[in-house]
Amino acid sequence: MRIFFENSSRIILCVLFLLASSVVSAQMSEEDALMFGAEIFIEPGQSDKNVESWFKTLSDNNMNLTRIRMFENYMKDENGNWDFSLFDKAFQYGEKYNVKIYANLFPATDFTDVGGFKYPSDREHLERVAEYIKVVVTHFKKFKSLYGWVPINEPGGGSVQNPLGKEIFAEWKNSQQIATIHPLKDTPYLSFDKQEFILYYNTWYLNWLTSEIKKYDARNPVHVNTHQIFDNVAQYDFPAWSRFLTSLGGSAHASWHFGYFTRNKYALAMSANSEIILSGAGNIPWLMTELQGGNNIYSGYEPFCPTKEEIAQWLWIVVGTGSKGAIFWCLNPRMSGMEAGEWAMIDFQNRPTERLIETGKIAHLINENEKLFRVAKPIHSNIHILYNRESIWVEQMMAPDIKNNKYEIREPGAVMKSGISYFEALSQIGLQPTFKEFNEFSFSEKDYSGQTVILAHQISIPESYYDHFRNFVRNGGTLIVDGLTAFYDEKAMSKMVNSFPLADLFGGSVSEFIFEKDLFDLKITEDNTLSTHALKGIIDVEKGKNIGDKAGEMVGIINNFGKGKVVWVPSLIGLGARKANDYRPLLEFLDPYFNTSDRIGFESFQEGVLMKNLKSGNKVISVIINKNKENVTIRLTGLSAYKNARILYSNKKSKLNDKTIHIDSEDTLVIIWD
């Protein structure tokens, strides 16, 4: 999307944007030490003794980072007078116990507003936010315990139907009309102005907040936490954000954000969530800003209390995905309002729970090996799962508003679930694919030999990407395509009617899609039948070759294109494997098309097991998690060059014997290879 600054206010904002970028880029390095902690919730009625005890508890458990919501409602009275004493004492205890604080700006809002408003209502409200930022940043920047600023909690998901939103939309829309003429001006097409504007508006407001902070504090980092990533990711323009943020983060609460998963797959959800943020961060560091730390009762969509084993799994997963640390929500339970008495890592008598103790144990191990972890970088498997926001937008537009829908393809979410299905499948052979939005993948390389891109049911492919994918395959890449990928363009125009523009790349066109049933068998080869959801695509072959040895119904073809190839099955085989909860046949089918000969992974398929790997100097750090109810024995591959190994962490009795591991149910096994 093109952004234009047509008036003086936009020019000023752009200048501030550039100034902020030049200042903050050096404030946080990808080689900084990892930091861990839990959010301390400050509210009226808390005794000094309690507040001090919380900072001491963090320090006693090897945790040196917290986040505090800086409630305007708790600092400013109805007459406009400011009293900072409630929060001053927290920052003073932070200094006393060497706990750094991310100050989360929280301008005045309704008491029942759990996460804070996402956009100001009008210009007057925007000015009040600016005044709040001036007062709070000016006052608290003096504390040595201040680590940085979180300008807004969990951006995205808000409504723009207010005076300020309408005003900025009109400016944005006018700039779009002046600057662009759509090639289909004589053809009716659907408008995605609302979706494109929200993408723009989230960046505009986040940039504005950051610029306001930097007016008064140009030294300390600025960090923001995404949320509900599998739903909201189409609202986030991460490459634009990375120009003015110091680091990127996320909220990853299983109870709120993992609705696409059952509890035994929350570790997988955390892994996918982390990979999306890692990719979005680009060249800036990332840190998981909120992890569920305790029990939820009335809040959240799925009530439960994490076990210490789950806490360990989530923490090691984010570390294994290159995070610079993590903060749990939260240390102490708030006393009033929504979420009162929930989510905490200490009990009601202020004693550490086993969840907190386990976190402290892990933090201690990582602190002891600080040099090893501070330079560690994720090892990926040359396999890239790509998604794009246009597919999410089109899916949301096309999905029928009906009750008791029986088919996932007719619901928002199938696009992301399809990508997740391949992510889960690859995890079960120990591989680490990347998970990227189209804009985050480099399409300008000259050689993609050994690289694989997966387009799983990406229903809308903007025409500007057609040549990008041709370049990828022509220069040696393998493209795996399933579902209704490329069925629409970015304006939801059907591209498979008449002349399919990607027929040269894919090797043919779809003659028709046939609705079968929720789950059916699709015979790809004589030896391979795949569970498939809803639709069977029949290919009108132009130059591709049938995947099967014998000619038959063309449901899958391979097309050589330049130095690479396209493997195309226009049926929902990824989503089908997910619904059947059986990825083995899918992996057996895909195995010949992956270049995994030198990749770290499992020697054989392992349902319910996942692995993350980091490279640190001449060492590799492996994080392996077993979500099965039984212990498993696994032979690891790709580690023949490493002769020495030691177990850094196991919360049970898992063992290592050369390159074979014996891992207990629900255990997280961390191995350092030298």
Instruction: State both tokens at 534.
Output: 């809803």
C-alpha triplet 420, 324, 262: angle, nearest 5°: 30
Q: Which pLDDT score, from 0 to 100, does residue 160 have?
A: 87
Long-range contacts of 438-445 (CB under 8 A, 24+ apart): 438/386, 438/387, 438/388, 438/462, 438/465, 438/468, 439/237, 439/238, 439/239, 440/238, 440/239, 440/279, 440/280, 440/282, 441/384, 441/386, 443/468, 443/469, 443/471, 443/472, 444/471, 445/475
Crossing angle for the helix pair 163-179 and 123-140, to the nearest 10 degrees: 100
CB 273 within 8 A of CB 229: yes
Q: Which pLDDT score, from 0 to 100, does residue 525 have?
A: 87
CB 223 within 8 A of CB 289: yes
Q: Which pLDDT score, from 0 to 100, does residue 184 have?
A: 55
Name the residue among 345, 321, 310, 259 with its Cα closest to residue 39: 345
CB 38 within 8 A of CB 329: yes
Beta pairing, strands 660-663 & 632-637:
antiparallel
Instruction: State both tokens at 475.
Output: 């220069």
Q: Decide: helix, strand or coil at residue 598.
A: coil
Burial (CB < 10 A; 0-12, 13-18, 19+), residue 366, is buried
Instruction: State both tokens at 672.
Output: 């350092």
Low-confidence ranges of the chain (pLDDT < 70): 1-28, 177-187, 549-552
Rounded Cα distance between 574 and 582, Å, is 10
Residue that the structure tokens 């929930």 belong to:
342
Rounded Cα distance between 479 and 557, Å, is 12
Q: Which amino acid is at 136?
A: V
CB 433 within 8 A of CB 383: yes
Residues in the chain: 674
Global pTM value: 0.94
Contacts of residue 439, defined as CB under 8 A and 6 or more positions apart, other chains included, come to 237, 238, 239
Cα separations in angstroms, 220 against 131, 150, 210, 355: 19, 11, 11, 31
Instruction: State both tokens at 661.
Output: 């591991």
Rounded Cα distance between 281 and 396, Å, is 26
Q: Decide: helix, strand or coil at residue 655.
A: strand
Q: Which pLDDT score, from 0 to 100, does residue 213 have?
A: 98
Burial (CB < 10 A; 0-12, 13-18, 19+), residue 279, is buried
- State the CATH class of domain 383-593: alpha beta
- State the CATH class of domain 8-27+35-368: alpha beta
Rounded Cα distance between 511 and 509, Å, is 6
Q: Which pLDDT score, from 0 to 100, does residue 157 have?
A: 84
Name the residue among 258, 228, 244, 216 with its Cα closest to residue 105: 216
Rounded Cα distance between 257 and 228, Å, is 5
Q: Which pLDDT score, from 0 to 100, does residue 604 have?
A: 95
Residue that the structure tokens 């600092």 belong to:
75
What residues does 53 pair with on adjacent strands?
A: none
Q: Helices (DSSP H) in 35-105: which residue ranges?
A: 48-60, 85-96
Q: Name the helix (H) or strand (E) containing 232.
A: helix 229-232
Q: How far apart are the first and last CA of the chain?
A: 46
Instruction: State both tokens at 41.
Output: 């919730």
What is the DSSP track for 341-396?
A: T-S-SB-TTSPBPHHHHHHHHHHHHHHHTHHHHHT-EE---SEEEEE-HHHHHHHH
Rounded Cα distance between 662 and 674, Å, is 20
User: Which pLDDT tens digit goes with each residue over 234-257?
Assistant: 999 999 999 999 999 999 999 999
Burial code of 639-664, b = ≥16 C-beta within 10 A, e = fewer?
A: beebeebeebbbbeebebeebebbbb
CB 648 within 8 A of CB 619: no
Which DSSP symbol is given to 153? B
Q: Decide: helix, strand or coil at residue 250.
A: strand
Q: Do domains 8-27+35-368 and 608-673 have the same CATH topology?
A: no
CB 213 within 8 A of CB 138: no
Rounded Cα distance between 325 and 481, Å, is 35
Name the residue among 565, 557, 567, 602 with its Cα closest to residue 584: 602
Q: Would you list the domain boundaries of the chain?
A: 8-27+35-368, 383-593, 608-673
CA 75 to chain centre: 33
Rounded Cα distance between 67 and 250, Å, is 13
Q: What is the CATH number of domain 608-673?
A: 2.60.40.1180
Burial (CB < 10 A; 0-12, 13-18, 19+), residue 185, is exposed
Q: Decide: helix, strand or coil at residue 208.
A: helix
Instruction: State both tokens at 618.
Output: 């001449």
